[in-house]
Amino acid sequence: MRSHLFWVFQIMRRRKVDEILLPYEDGMPLDPSVKIGDRIITAIELMVGNNLKQIAVVRNQRPVGMVRLEDAFKKIGLTMTEEQARGPQ
């Protein structure tokens, strides 16, 4: 079990938002945001902490794309329930 957790942590630590970047949607807030090259886990922490389903990705303070929470979870090997994906009602 310990070995499995070690590898999960290593995957989480290495994965970058660049790997799951989607096109930026006009009007999407830039605060909070993550930068190109930031870890996916950083984006997840910001989205969960701010109750967001997606977050802008910036380079030199300009939007270059966005990351969805569901995609971020999948990339690091986690899944969301349908209720979590829908968000608060």
What is the pLDDT at residue 86? 61
Q: Name the β-bridge partners of 19.
A: none
Cα separation, 5 vs 37, whole angstroms: 24
> What is the mean pLDDT, run by run of 10 residues, along the chain of 89 residues?
59 83 95 96 95 97 96 83 57
What is the pLDDT at residue 30? 96
What pTM, to 2 d.p., does this model score?
0.77
What is the pLDDT at residue 76? 83
Q: Which fold has domain 2-77?
A: CBS domain Like (3.90.1280)
Cα separation, 18 vs 38, whole angstroms: 8
What is the pLDDT at residue 3? 62
